[in-house]
């Protein structure tokens, strides 16, 4: 429908420069420039390398998205941008660009939360989100269970990782196995040839007294490293496929088990899974199997929309416009530790309520 | 001609409007940690106080550093975005050149040095022969490691003020970067038909990135 909000979204919280354009629930453009290859030799994302790449890619990626969508910047109803959480210097490039375009074009600016965007992107794939929505977000930076009665204003954290994010565990285990960075796709590939029951790796925080919805992947990662090192020390070959499959099974077993438990406990009959790890083939198949068994409808966007991208930010921005949510002011800060409960940031005119975290996150903003 | 100039490569967040003859409005706030929050409001302030619209601007002038990266990028990405959205040219000007021009406005002539704070006990610096003629490439060094003949010259900028034992002939003005001076220098160059550098960052340092020293074992060896 032509009267649905046309919004451009900018995402620069990590190593992808993403610009998406949506009209309501329809994806018109999803342009991405990634600096992942530049980080590979460091075995992880280097913030300064990512920020430099964002600056180079920003305007060309916006131009590409507008061209792809076949719309003029003048026709936009708003510009949305990831205000946090993420890498401070990287976020700042996207936020500054969004402000400049919004100010120059006379469009409202929406500083939005990266996590809420990961959930909202599914509207582009499967239509309007049910209310409330149960979401499992898993990536290299986050592992959370979120209950969202209103994606534009009410997102509640049920649980999160207490140590490593799920994607981080994939990267670290890939390093142990010598599979390179990023680890997720490599582990997924090797696991297909392996036996997921070959090695009994621990399932973190699944005891009767453990927090029901929190995750822990640090112990699992260490257990895998110990197992592999012990084999090597004894001069035995390491069965990479079996290790990858067994490790991956331990991760997705816990993720899906807890997500379904959260759905049941809260009377929610569907589950949304997003974030880079949602591209993992075993997570997708096990989630589907368990959701079907529990009478829960599974919503997982295609892999390209699960990883960080601009379309997800545009999707949330469009929903903000449709629901008449307040725009941000032009002194909008980039907030590396933006809490998940802050779906959007109205700007500095209203002082923040989490100043302690905020100040800490701001330390590296200069220099 | 209506130039919108700004610079975020130093602790100053500075914006100005210049009509080719004079500075119409300027806003300069010193806050090293809030470049991203303060820049667009500063642009809005100078436009409002000059009674001009952004659509009237015919060119963007931006300081390209050298400067601490995070702040520097705010100005550069803002300039590139304005340039694209308004379809006007973006003129990159070395931040040290802007300070040199301001030094000229403050009465300094002949050979002198501009030095800003590069953190990590270093300065960004360049030498000038008059306010519009830079005679060395911008560089980053410890102040004490600069050649003696450079250190003996009159010196301006926060980098000179930070290392008084090295820069022996310090001058108080300009204390901070001024977008008004940057714009005036750009207007001078435009009038002289000079070419501008691309509006790309002068980082002068490679990114800090440690390549992990191989995989670290968890089992005791
Ligand atoms: Zn993400």
Interchain contact, A46 vs B70, CB within 8 Å: no
Binding site for substrate: residue ranges of A? 137-141, 171, 184, 188, 280
pLDDT value at residue A45? 86
A85 by Cβ neighbours in 10 Å (0-12 / 13-18 / 19+) ranks as: buried
Q: How far apart are CA A229 and CA A231, in angstroms?
A: 5
Q: Could you tell me which residue, B8 or B195, shows the higher pLDDT?
A: B8
A334/B36 CB distance under 8 A: yes
Nearest Cα residue to A192 out of A128, A280, A92, A296 = A280
Extract the residue ranges of chain A whose pLDDT is less than 50.
Answer: 350-367
CA distance A263 to chain B (A): 37
List residues of B whose CB lies inside 8 A of any A CB.
11, 32-41, 43-44, 54, 68-71, 73-74, 76-78, 80-86, 119, 201, 203, 207-212, 215, 217-219
> In the prediction, which pLDDT does A180 show?
87
pLDDT of residue B213: 52
Which letter, b or e, does each residue of A315-345 get, where b requires 16 or more Cβ atoms within 10 Å of its Cβ? bbbbbbbbeebebbbbbbbbbbbbbbbbbbb
B32: phi then psi, degrees, rounded to nearest 5: -65, -15
Report residue A112 as tokens: 């939005």
Q: What is the CA radius of gyration of chain A?
A: 20
pLDDT of residue A2: 60
CA of residue A228 relative to chain centroid, distance? 30
- What is the β-pairing status of strands A344-345 and A109-113? antiparallel
Helix (H, G, I), strand (E, B) or coil at A74: helix
Closest CB to A100: pick one of B78, B119, B207: B78
A26-34 β-sheet, strand order: A26-34, A16-23, A6-11, A78-84, A109-113, A344-345
Closest residue in A to B11 (Cα–Cα): A366
Q: How far is A329 from chain B (nearest CA, A)?
A: 9
Substitution target from A43, A104, A175 for chain B, most B beta carbons within 10 A: A104
Q: Give the DSSP letter of residue A238.
A: P
At B208, the pLDDT band (50, 70, 90 cuts) reads: confident
Model pLDDT for residues A291-315, shown as the tens digit of each residue: 999 999 999 999 999 999 999 999 9
Model pLDDT, residue A44: 81
Q: For residue A360, what pLDDT is reported?
A: 31
Specify which residues B29 forms β-bridges with: B13
What is the pLDDT at residue B197? 84
Contact between chains at B70 and A104 (C-beta distance less than 8 A): no
What percent of chain B shows pLDDT beyond 70?
95
CA distance B185 to B163: 27
Chain segment B89-111, per-residue pLDDT in tens: 999 999 999 999 999 999 999 99
Contact B81 A59 (CB under 8 A): yes
What's the token pair of residue B158? 């926060």
Are A336 and A95 in contact by the 8 Å Cβ rule? The answer is no
Task: Give yes or no for residue B211 having a pLDDT over 70.
Answer: no
| Element housing B6 (H / E) | strand B3-7
Interatomic CA distance for residues A170 and B40, integer angstroms: 40
Q: Are B44 and B15 in contact (CB under 8 A)?
A: no
Q: What long-range pairs does B128-135 form, CB within 8 A, spacing at least 24?
A: B128/B100, B128/B103, B130/B104, B131/B100, B131/B101, B131/B103, B131/B104, B131/B105, B132/B97, B132/B100, B132/B101, B132/B104, B132/B185, B132/B188, B134/B94, B134/B96, B134/B97, B134/B100, B135/B111
The span from the CA of B3 to the CA of B43, in Å, is 12
Q: How far is B129 from chain A (nearest CA, A)?
A: 30
What angle, rounded to 10 degrees, do the helices at A281-294 and A240-266 form? 40
Q: Smallest CA–CA separation between A96 and chain B, in Å? A: 6
pLDDT at B218: 62
For residue B36, give the chain A residue with the closest CA. Answer: A96
DSSP string, A138-203: ESSS-EEEEEEEETTTEEEEEEEBSSS-HHHHHHHHHHHTT--SSHHHHHHHHHTTS-TTSS----
Structure tokens at B69: 């990266």
């Amino acid at each position: 429908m032509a009267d649905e909000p046309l919004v451009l979204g900018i995402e620069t919280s990590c190593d992808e420069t993403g610009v998406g354009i949506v009209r309501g629930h329809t994806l018109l453009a999803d342009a991405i420039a990634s600096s992942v290859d530049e980080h590979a030799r460091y075995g992880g994302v280097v913030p300064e390398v990512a920020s430099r790449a964002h600056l180079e890619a920003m305007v060309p990626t916006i131009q590409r998205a507008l061209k792809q969508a076949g719309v003029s910047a003048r026709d936009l109803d708003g510009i949305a941008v990831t205000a946090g959480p993420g890498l401070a210097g990287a976020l700042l490039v996207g936020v500054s660009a969004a402000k400049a375009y919004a100010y120059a074009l006379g469009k409202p600016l929406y500083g939005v939360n990266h996590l809420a965007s990961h959930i909202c992107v599914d509207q582009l794939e499967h239509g309007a989100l049910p209310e409330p929505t149960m979401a499992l977000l898993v990536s290299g930076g986050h592992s959370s269970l979120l209950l969202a009665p209103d994606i534009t204003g009410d997102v509640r954290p049920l649980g999160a990782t207490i140590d490593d994010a799920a994607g981080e565990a994939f990267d670290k285990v890939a390093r142990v196995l010598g599979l390179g960075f990023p680890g997720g796709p490599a582990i997924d590939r090797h696991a297909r040839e392996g036996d997921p029951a070959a090695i009994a790796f621990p399932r973190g925080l699944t005891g009767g007294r453990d927090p029901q919805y929190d995750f822990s992947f640090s112990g699992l990662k260490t257990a895998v490293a110990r197992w592999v090192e012990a084999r090597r020390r004894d001069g035995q070959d390491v069965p990479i496929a079996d290790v990858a499959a067994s490790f991956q099974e331990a991760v997705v077993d816990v993720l899906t088990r807890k997500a379904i438990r959260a759905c049941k406990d809260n009377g929610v009959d569907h589950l949304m899974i997003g974030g880079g790890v949602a591209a993992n083939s075993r997570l997708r198949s096990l989630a589907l199997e368990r959701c079907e068994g529990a009478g829960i409808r599974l919503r997982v966007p295609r892999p390209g929309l699960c990883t960080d991208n601009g379309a997800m930010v545009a999707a949330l921005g469009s929903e903000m416009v449709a629901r008449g949510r307040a725009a941000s002011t032009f002194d909008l800060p980039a907030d590396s530790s933006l809490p998940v409960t802050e779906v959007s940031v109205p700007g500095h005119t209203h002082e923040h309520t989490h100043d302690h975290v905020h100040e800490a996150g701001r330390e590296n903003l200069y220099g | 001609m209506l130039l919108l100039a700004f610079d975020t490569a130093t602790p100053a967040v500075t914006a100005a409007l210049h009509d080719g003859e004079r500075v119409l409005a300027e806003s300069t706030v010193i806050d090293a940690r809030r470049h991203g929050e303060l820049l667009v409001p500063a642009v809005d302030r100078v436009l409002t106080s000059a009674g001009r619209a952004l659509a009237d601007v015919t060119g963007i002038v931006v300081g390209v550093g050298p400067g601490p990266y995070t702040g520097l990028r705010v100005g550069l990405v803002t300039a590139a975005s304005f340039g694209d959205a308004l379809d006007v040219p973006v003129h990159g000007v070395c931040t040290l050149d802007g300070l040199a021009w301001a030094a000229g406005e403050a009465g300094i002539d002949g050979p002198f040095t501009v030095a800003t704070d590069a953190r990590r006990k270093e300065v960004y610096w360049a030498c000038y022969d008059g306010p519009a003629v830079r005679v060395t490439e911008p560089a980053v060094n410890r102040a004490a490691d600069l050649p003696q003949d450079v250190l003996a010259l009159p010196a301006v900028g926060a980098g000179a003020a930070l290392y008084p034992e090295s820069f022996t002939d310090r001058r108080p003005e300009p204390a901070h970067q001024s977008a008004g001076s940057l714009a005036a220098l750009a207007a001078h160059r435009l009038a002289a038909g000079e070419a501008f550098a691309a509006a790309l960052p002068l980082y002068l340092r490679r990114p800090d990135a440690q390549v992990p020293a191989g995989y670290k074992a968890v089992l005791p060896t």
